[in-house]
Structures are given as structure tokens and as C-alpha cells.
Structure 1
Amino acid sequence: MPVFTSDFTPTFLFKSGHFNTIYRSVFTKEHCNYQRKRITTWDKDFIDLDFSLVSSKTLVLLIHGLEGSSQSKYIVSTTKHLNTKGLDTVCFNLRGCSGQDNLLLGTYHSGKTEDVDFVVKHLLDHYDYENIILIGFSLGGNLTLKYIGEQSENISSKIKGGITVSVPIDIASGEFELEKLKNKLYLERFLKSMKIKILEKAAKFPEFHVDKDLLAKATRFKHLENLYTVPVFGFKSPEDYWEKASAKPYLSKIKIPTLLINSKDDTFLSDKCFPFEEANNSKNFFFETTNYGGHCGFISSFYNAKNNWLELRIERFIKQNIQINLL
């Protein structure tokens, strides 16, 4: 019954999910000097991989969330912590998220695990690591869980485990939750960024006829999915996309040690994103829920030296459950 009881106990202000979510992304000052490697995909596009190397035999592949990148604060802080523990890291910038638009009309979506599979195979074929660990945040966590589950029968023996944080594993209910009034500011920020990218794609690809009036009026993810995700990626409807892209149905198939950490005060997550039953029935899928932490936050206080609970939790799971030696 791999369900963990959390020991995360932040100070007063950080017991607010909104405050914790915003604080990490706005007020923490994390920077990392990456070595970028651009790889060409099978469909004549490119993916940018950002490496941070310390001469390790273990590589951690990090996947960011919606409209994030290797510069996302949770990616940088995890990278720096794992480097100090003797692990190499590489951040997979999803298509169109590396600071330069990708070459094709299609970018990424919550279930596009063919890109994850391509990156993993590239790392296996071109680098001589003994161990690879996958870590995903939010949308990147959904990709990570779905990939590990759907590839359970074929996954390389070098892929030793996965860790995921703040993951909307049920996309339909997660979108409904994010569209509530309490999340208005977050939703507007996401929609603004995504609308700009869709307009840029429409300008580059005249054959892609997007209704710009409907795009401007879009107030829900479903509106953008109807205009972009569904036609570009070949789904029948937003509902078809939600069903096919969600990681939750794949959790029972996971066969390597894999952890999901979701906070109860994460305003992005619905009740369906807390898979107690799946964890209770699994030997390999571990679920931990915290009372506090917000979305990809897990900040404890205003003292930076005390703000590493999440990084330490990731470290502990790697040591104890994936059983990789760290410094």
C-alpha cells in the first residue's frame, strides 16, 4: 500500500495554496547555466535539451509544465539540488517552449508521449548512462506518468524510476477546476500565452485557418482545444483529447518505482487527481499528498535555506525507492 503521509509543514503564510504557488515562480531567484543540445526529430522538427552535468553515471530527465521551460523555477531548483548530490540532469523543453518557435504547426499537449519516447531513446542511444530517472511537473508530470505506464512492457532497463509533482492526471476535471473563479488570474495568464502562440502559428502556416474572433473571445481551455489541439493533433473533440491524454488510466500499469506528490491545497487539481485507490493497489506507483504546497510550490518560509522540502523529498525517493546512490 504505497501511500505516504507527508511531513511538509510550512510557516503560516505558506499555508495558503495561492501564496505558495505564486511565491516560487515570482519571488525565488534561481538561475542555472545549461549546455544546450538541439536534436532533430523524426518529423523534421527540433527539440532543445538543456544539460547540467557533473560527470555522473545517472541522468535525470526533467519535464516542465504548461508554458514552462528549463528556466521554470521548480526545474532550476531541482536541477541545482540534484547536481549537488552527484546527478547529471537534462531538461526537455517541450516543442515551442525553449525560447524559439519550433518548425511545425504542432507543438505539444498533455498526452504527447511520442516526444518523451523520442527524447528517452535519443539519450539511451547517444549517452552512456547506467541509470535514467524521469521527473515531471504538472503537465510534464502527466506526460511522465503516462509514458511510464504505457511503455511498461517495453521500457528500457536503464529507466529506473519516476517522480512527478502537482499533476492533473485527470485532464477533464483538472480543466474544470482551473476554470473556476478562484483560478481566474492563472487561467488568464495561460490563455494569453497560448493565444499568442496560436496566432503566430496561423501567420506561419496559412493553410491553418483559425477563427481569430473566436480565439480572441476564448475563455476556456476547451475553446482553444477546439480551435487548435483537436484539428492539429487529430482528436475527434476536446472530450476525446481529455480521455486519450490523461495519465490516470495508466497508473495501474506502472512497473518501476514512481512517485506522485499532490497537495490538497493545489487549486489546479480536482478530487479525481488524488489516486489513493491506484496507489493502494500497486506495488510500484507511490502517492503522497500534502496538506499544503500549492501548485509546484512547496515553499516553507521566507528563509531560502529552508525552502528545499520538495528537492529533499525527491532526493529521498531516489535513495530509498529507486535505490540510486547519491553524494
Structure 2
Amino acid sequence: MNFPELRRIQDFSVVHLNDSIRDTNLSQTDVNLFILDSPKGNIIYSNSNQSIRYFHDDRIENYKQIYVLPNGKILFISSDNFLDLCYTYNATGNVTFTPNCIKTNIGAYSIFEFKPDNEEVILLDHQKQLKRFNTINNSLTALNINPQPTEVFSLAYNNGFLGVLENKGTKLTLFSEGNGRFNFTNSLEDFSFVTQKGARYNAPQFLGIAVNSSGVIYATCPSEDAIYSFNGDLRITDVYEFLPEIRPYKKIISPHKILISKRNEYLYVSNRSALEILKDSANNPSEDFQWILPVQSDSIENAFKSLVNSGGYDPNKSIFDQPGIKEIVQSWKGNL
């Protein structure tokens, strides 16, 4: 079976799966990654630290979003903006479709993580209102929040902190959870910042947002190819730029979505063609990074050195399109 080329990262989900369905070799902080490549109807996902699989179904072509719960239940937003709850990740490490299942009549533009252990998410519905959705009984209730955000672009919840990008991403608002509701804490609309070295930033708009367990907020700025960090008072503490593109590594241009793994607080950032995993060393002392280069990369290194020494390396091509290296990569894909 030929492993499919990744056409586009339409969306992705990061999940700490329950022990009953997660690979036994994964540590308690390790996650599973699910990437929705909807133009071809594919999901590319990690089964373990050493295994990547894919699932294809014509029915999910042009789907817009994927979210995976710890119990393996998969939530999609379809091409016409309705929830599809027909798919599951199971203990054998496979994605399956529930026979005779059809998508729901629950309209949604976005799914946001809320309380995964309770099987609850937040939806942005067709009326652009925020709703709590319980996947156990498919109940839908208004999110008790005051004041109601307007023109919501994105939001993120963690440990009682709710950060919202509203007014089409030009306003950042922080709410705190208490007594069954979310109460206004602070908001910010001026995103200008000067570093200690004098570099100036002034984000006109953010697209994605993540919040760590202490209330530190991270937001993606596509116009500056950067991530802004904010403390609990919504003061900008730093701006992180992505490294320049040096083959074979891709620079994240126009970063869109950002997620945080809850147990070790690594940041996952994507655009349409690449995904990077980052750590904010100022706020995250964790060293338990699960993603490593496969040991087979030594064969690429040897092939690369041989090409350079023989003068056969073509700088106008990606390293993965070089003769010898291309065949190595193809052999890996054939074994997946």
C-alpha cells in the first residue's frame, strides 16, 4: 500500500488518549497527532512514537475541522458546516467508520477544546454563538459568558482560563471560570511591542490562540510569521519568529492554528503545508519531548554526504528529491 502524499494541512488535533486505547509504549505525557488532509479525504495520524498511519474515506473530502477526544471519538465539521460524529479511533490503532451512520444536523463553524475528560467541547454555531456541546448525549447549551464575545475568530480553554480572539482577531479577551460561568478579566486591542534589542512588532490581527495551565496566552500572527506570548495581565512578554527556511526544513509562513499539549505544554503550530512543535523555555521546564528523528535518518545523512562529495547534489531541489535520498524516503513510506 502506498502512503499518500500530504496535500494540505486543513486542520489537526493533539490528544492524550485514554490508556485503554493508547499504545503501551507511550509515556503519560505523550500525545497522538491527527492531521486532516481533506482535499483527498485522508487522515494522517500517529499510532505510536515509531508509527504513522493513514485513513481514507471519500465521505470526509473537503471536511473543515477535526477534533479527537481522549476516548477516541472523532468530531468533524463537514464541508457544509455540520458536525459528523461517525468516526472513532480504537484500541487497535485504527480509525473506523460506524456503519449506517450519518452526520448530525448540528450546525457548527468551529470546534474548540473545553473539558475533554467530560466529553465536552465548545462550538461556534451557525448563529455565531458559543455553545457547550456534550458528546455523550449530544446536548447543546449556551456558554454562560459575560459579556458575549463578538466576531469570534478563535478561543482556547485551560484550567479555568478562557482566551478569546474576537472582532475578527483584532481583540484579545481573557475570561476566568467561576460559579458556573465565565467572567470578564481583561482585554487588549493594542498589540505593539518592542524587544530589549529594539525590534518592533505591531500585530494587526491574530488567527489562533492557546492557553497554558497558568494562564499564559500564545497567539499566531500570520502577517509577521510570529507567535506572541501574553502573561495573565495580557501584557506582551515576547514575540517568537520562525527560523528561515533552510532546505529541507520549512519555515512556517502565515501560521494559523496553535494548540498546546496539556500534560507537558508543548506548542503545536501549523499553516497549510507544515507543522512545528515548539517549547516556550521561559514558562516550560519540561524535557520529556516525545518526537525524535528516526534512526534511519543516518542513511539520509550518508547519502547526502556522498552526493556532496561526488558533486551530484542539486541545490535547486529539495533534499528529499535528490537521487538516492528520494529512494530511501520512498522505501520508508512503503513500510508504513
Same fold (TM over 0.5): no
Point out which structure has higher relative CO (alpha carbons under 8 A, 6+ apart). 1
The structure number with the bigger radius of gyration is 2
Normalised by the length of structure 1, the TM-score is 0.27
> Relative to total residues, which structure has the larger helix share, 1 or 2?
1
Structure with greater proportional strand content? 2
